[in-house]
Structure 1
Amino acid sequence: MELPRQMTKNSYQKCMEWTERNIGITAVCLMVKAITAVTAAIYMAIALWLFAQRDERIFRFLLVPAAGFVAVTILRKLIAAKRPYEIYGFTPLLQKDTRANSFPSRHVFSNMIIAAAALYVNLPLGIFTAVCGLLLAVLRVITGVHFPKDVAAGCLIAVLLGWIGFYLV
């Protein structure tokens, strides 16, 4: 059996119906907000700890994610890929009225570059944040705001930039 290369309108409708029936829109929205808030809190807590310890890693810890965020934002503007709900004409489960800028997913990129930054400083927090990022990627797809390729690209770019920024340079 060959997997489809891209989710269809029917695929999204089935995912969103399943999500609404088995998880609930409110729960999904809360999970997305919680993952985003927890990830931001972890990033800020580690940054404050590095600053308080006068740890020289703070410069890389702050610079790599910031540079990556700017680069991904510019890339999204240049590509201007439409979102699933724009192409297929449905209402996503997450409230979203943004047009284009779907590829790569900046939410997933941000979560995963923070996971890479956390891994650079604290293995357990890095692993926890990466797992949150993978869950966020799934949620962004099943709620109809991204294609799988969008979240996969966001994750891959974060992993590559994290590896380069934290370990190669």
Structure 2
Amino acid sequence: MRTETYRKLSAWFYGHVWAYKLLVRLNNFLPALFYVLYPVLLGILAARGDARLWRVLCVPAAAFGVCTVVRRLVHAPRPYERVWFEPLMVHDGTGNSFPSRHVTSAAVIAAAYGYVWPLAGVVLGVAAGCIAVGRVLAGIHYPQDVLAGGVLGAGFGLVGFWLL
């Protein structure tokens, strides 16, 4: 996105307080939801002695690890570092924008749920998409950051849960 696009988006959200509050709340709530639901899934599988536990543990861990390594190697700046505008959400730190780790994690956790309960995977996949859109609208990521995160997380999920 261009600087002017971010400025227009920011102005719109600041002019519509309800939308701004919704964006901030969703950007905080949805990632937290995934980080609560993932250990719940692991706990359920462990309690049932389900053989899928190790796959559901290892595939997201691998996706998270690869995403973290790529972020450190690329060290891409965040939108607010390159262009003059104030992001709609406070974000500590610089760089490590590509790929989005929030979106990678959400996508692979959605795939993990889909592996165990397909309908839950679809619902969480939609929520992962909402995280991606919210991160861009908030000015924390570029569209390519969240797209790469989604492809990485979904790709690990597809290969790890259904192709291997």
State the TM-score, normalized to the length of structure 2.
0.94
Q: Which amino acid aligns with 2:92?
A: D
Whether 1:145 and 2:140 are equivalent positions in the alignment is: yes
- Contact 1:19–1:142, Cα closer than 8 Å, also in 2: no
Equivalent residues in 2 for 1:17-36 (5 A)? 17-22=11-16, 23-36=18-31
- Contact 1:47–1:58, Cα closer than 8 Å, also in 2: yes
- Contact 1:39–1:114, Cα closer than 8 Å, also in 2: yes
Measure, in 1, the Cα distance between the counterparts of 2:123 and 2:13. 24
SS in 2 for 1:146: coil
Identify the match of residue 9 of structure 2 among 15, 39, 42: 15
Whether 1:90 and 2:104 are equivalent positions in the alignment is: no
Measure, in 1, the Cα distance between the counterparts of 2:134 and 2:89. 9
**How much does 1:97 deviate?**
3.0
Equivalent residues in 2 for 1:27-66 (5 A)? 27-66=22-61
SS in 2 for 1:145: coil
Identify the match of residue 107 of structure 2 among 109, 112, 128: 112
Identify the residue that residue 154 of structure 2 maps to in structure 1. Answer: 159
Structure 1, unmatched stretches of 5+, are 1-6
Measure, in 2, the Cα distance between the counterparts of 1:168 and 1:123. 16
SS in 2 for 1:13: helix
Identify the residue that residue 124 of structure 1 maps to in structure 2. Answer: 119
Identify the residue that residue 100 of structure 1 maps to in structure 2. Answer: 95
Aligned length: 163
State the TM-score, normalized to the length of structure 1.
0.92
Q: 1:11 to 1:116 in 2, by over 3 A?
A: same
**How much does 1:21 deviate?**
2.7
CA RMSD of aligned residues (A): 1.2
- Contact 1:19–1:143, Cα closer than 8 Å, also in 2: no
SS in 2 for 1:91: coil
Identify the residue that residue 76 of structure 2 maps to in structure 1. Answer: 81
Cα-to-partner distance string for 1:31-53 (whole Å, 9 max, x where unaligned):
11111122122212211110110
Identify the residue that residue 4 of structure 1 maps to in structure 2. Answer: none
Structure 2, unmatched stretches of 5+, are none
In terms of mean alpha carbon deviation, does 24-33 or 121-130 score higher?
A: 24-33
